[in-house]
Chains A and B, each alone.
Chain A
């Protein structure tokens, strides 16, 4: 039966992709082209990070995948089943955490979770057991009878995530689950996500935070302006885009133009002014330092500042999406 095939998605289906997306496009009625023909495959059992800055098209992509918005063109399959055709069946086996915590404010934690369980067709004792389990898993037992509206932001987020898990889905979509949370809540959620994944649940996680994407995901797709600009394991992406080091330099009596340095030096990938300081992004420090010394000598300049530091993750991110800081 179809439904069982989806349920077994993590065990045995002809398709190794839990989520397969081909040339997916989204044009909103107002003409905004939010997603411009993206393709990727989320492997069964992995944590797949979907990383991109605000407005990149992450939410739109998730909404298409879970049936909250129409697909303009292209295909999306969950465990081999087209989501437009088999929407209702597919929905049974996926969990979705929207980008906002949108549970029902007058309902208590328990009532909210039980409602979700029932809407997924889980009944009676099983439903209550699932709810108890998930309350425990997220450490929410003592808020059982607290109304959603009375919870703190972090707890609301936690409960919204819990509500997406009461029916033991095989695949969970989380749209910026940790956005706006404090460090402690964020860490706690990260741990929970890893734990869920170790139980075999495939996780599709969107984030604009490169630390989050790189530290949690097995693979990361980077999306910018509706297009996927890079895809790979965090290691592959770091190797490919990482600018290992940044060299801050200063010359006396004056700094040359960044472009001139870029043209004259070896081992330098990029040169730019950053808040009044000259920064060189280097891939070979020995070569860069040697050529820097001979350049200064040639031009009769003195080096007045020289400091080597690691590139921060944000710089790597900006580099991947091809934009300057």
Chain B
């Protein structure tokens, strides 16, 4: 167990060395969420306390999934992904390693957005420790989601296209930008099926002291369980990839 964790960390470090400077990770993982947050800020005359948690959540989500997309699709294409399967480590261990590197890039992406919010709203998170926990949780769930998603993408050129095809609807259908409570009824039902809704709610609660639509405990529990589920499914996808 410890042994698997250790190896997962080695994989993550290796990934970060290899991919953090790739254009895909930088543009869609780090720049996009920041620019997006900036744009909203100017449109609304400043980041509202409502928007800030959503933007932070979005940054974590885009940062994490961009990294997994890059590191997995690219490696699978050139054949170096398979190296990981030669080592004495379980499929879950490999999935965890890939999740960890994405997790880290998610955190990095969130920093500029967080600073932006802090500078312009002057509101510190309501529950600082919980806020930290929420950030870690959202980055983790986004990462394992990204790892899982990466297994359906074959061509490196298509990574960001396919990723965005999934990410953008997820973003608009969840409560990242628009409060679910203000959505028409049918849309609010859809929002409640979105992983991103629960993830964002965890951050929102920690930041504002209240959730939009789901109870805080539900938001945290669902986010964590989804993260684990995506991780296990990703491990299964890796196992299945050895046709």
Task: Identify which of B87-95, B113-121, B180-188, B196-204 touches chain A.
Answer: B87-95
B243-A91 in contact (CB<8A): no
Taking CB atoms, residues of chain A closer than 8 Å to B243 are 28-29, 69-70
B18-A104 in contact (CB<8A): yes
A83 to chain B, nearest CB (A): 12
Taking CB atoms, residues of chain A closer than 8 Å to B83 are 98, 102-103
Q: Is B17 in the interface zone, CB < 8 Å from A?
A: yes
Taking CB atoms, residues of chain B closer than 8 Å to A258 are none
Distance A96 CA – B80 CA, assembled complex (angstroms): 13
B80-A115 in contact (CB<8A): no
Q: Mark A91-103, 1 if CB is under 8 A from B, else 0.
A: 1100010101011
Task: Identify which of A15-23, A118-126, A238-246 touches chain B.
Answer: A118-126
Cβ-defined partner of B87 (8 Å) among A89, A105, A111, A120: A120
Residue of A nearest to B85 (CB): A68
Q: Is A106 in the interface zone, CB < 8 Å from B?
A: yes
A121-B3 in contact (CB<8A): yes
B79-A100 in contact (CB<8A): yes
Taking CB atoms, residues of chain B closer than 8 Å to A131 are none
Taking CB atoms, residues of chain B closer than 8 Å to A105 are 18, 78
Q: Mark B58-99, 1 if CB is under 8 A from A, else 0.
A: 000000000000000000001110111111111000000000
Q: Mark B1-34, 1 if CB is under 8 A from A, else 0.
A: 0010001001100100111010000000000000
8 Å CB interface, A66-118 against B? 66-70, 88-89, 91-92, 96, 98, 100, 102-107, 111, 115-116, 118
B12 to chain A, nearest CB (A): 11
Distance A66 CA – B85 CA, assembled complex (angstroms): 9
A102-B80 in contact (CB<8A): yes
8 Å CB interface, B102-157 against A? none
Known A70-B243, A115-B14, A118-B10: A104·B88 in contact at CB below 8 Å: no
Q: How large is the interface on B (under 10, 10 to 19, 20 to 34, 35 or more residues)?
A: 20 to 34
A-B contacts counted at CB < 8 A amount to 66
Cβ-defined partner of A118 (8 Å) among B7, B80, B84, B90: B7
A68-B86 in contact (CB<8A): yes
Taking CB atoms, residues of chain B closer than 8 Å to A88 are 88-90
Distance A98 CA – B80 CA, assembled complex (angstroms): 10
Q: Is B242 in the interface zone, CB < 8 Å from A?
A: yes
Distance A105 CA – B3 CA, assembled complex (angstroms): 26
Known A68-B85, A70-B242, A96-B86: A106·B18 in contact at CB below 8 Å: yes
Taking CB atoms, residues of chain A closer than 8 Å to B78 are 102, 105
Taking CB atoms, residues of chain B closer than 8 Å to A111 are 14, 17
Known A102-B83, A119-B7: A107·B88 in contact at CB below 8 Å: no
Q: Mark B229-243, 1 if CB is under 8 A from A, else 0.
A: 000000000000011
Q: Which of B17, B83, B243: most chain A CB closer than 10 A?
A: B83
8 Å CB interface, A113-156 against B? 115-116, 118-121
Distance A135 CA – B3 CA, assembled complex (angstroms): 26
Taking CB atoms, residues of chain B closer than 8 Å to A67 are 85-86, 242
A91-B90 in contact (CB<8A): no
Residue of A nearest to B10 (CB): A118
Taking CB atoms, residues of chain A closer than 8 Å to B84 are 119
Q: Mark B197-219, 1 if CB is under 8 A from A, else 0.
A: 00000000000000000000000
Taking CB atoms, residues of chain B closer than 8 Å to A70 are 242-243
A263 to chain B, nearest CB (A): 50
Distance A96 CA – B7 CA, assembled complex (angstroms): 18
A66 to chain B, nearest CB (A): 6
Residue of B nearest to A99 (CB): B79
A91-B17 in contact (CB<8A): no
A107-B17 in contact (CB<8A): yes
B93 to chain A, nearest CB (A): 10
Taking CB atoms, residues of chain B closer than 8 Å to A68 are 82, 85-86, 242
Distance A91 CA – B14 CA, assembled complex (angstroms): 20
Residue of A nearest to B18 (CB): A106
8 Å CB interface, B146-173 against A? none
B211 to chain A, nearest CB (A): 42
Cβ-defined partner of A104 (8 Å) among B14, B82, B87: B14
A57 to chain B, nearest CB (A): 15
8 Å CB interface, A224-272 against B? none
A66-B80 in contact (CB<8A): no
B79-A102 in contact (CB<8A): yes
Known A96-B86, A119-B7: A106·B17 in contact at CB below 8 Å: yes
Distance A106 CA – B75 CA, assembled complex (angstroms): 12
Taking CB atoms, residues of chain A closer than 8 Å to B18 are 104-107
> Considering the complex of A and B, which 4 residue pairs feature the smallest CB-CB distances, nearest first?
A119-B87, A102-B80, A102-B79, A91-B88
Q: Which residues of B contact A (CB under 8 A)?
A: 3, 7, 10-11, 14, 17-19, 21, 78-80, 82-90, 242-243
The 22 listed contacts between A and B (C-beta, < 8 Å) are: A28-B243, A67-B86, A70-B242, A88-B89, A98-B79, A98-B83, A100-B79, A102-B79, A102-B80, A102-B83, A104-B18, A104-B80, A105-B78, A106-B19, A106-B21, A111-B17, A116-B87, A118-B7, A119-B10, A119-B84, A120-B87, A121-B88
Given contacts A120-B88, A121-B7, 5 further A-B contacts (CB under 8 A): A67-B242, A96-B86, A103-B83, A104-B14, A115-B14
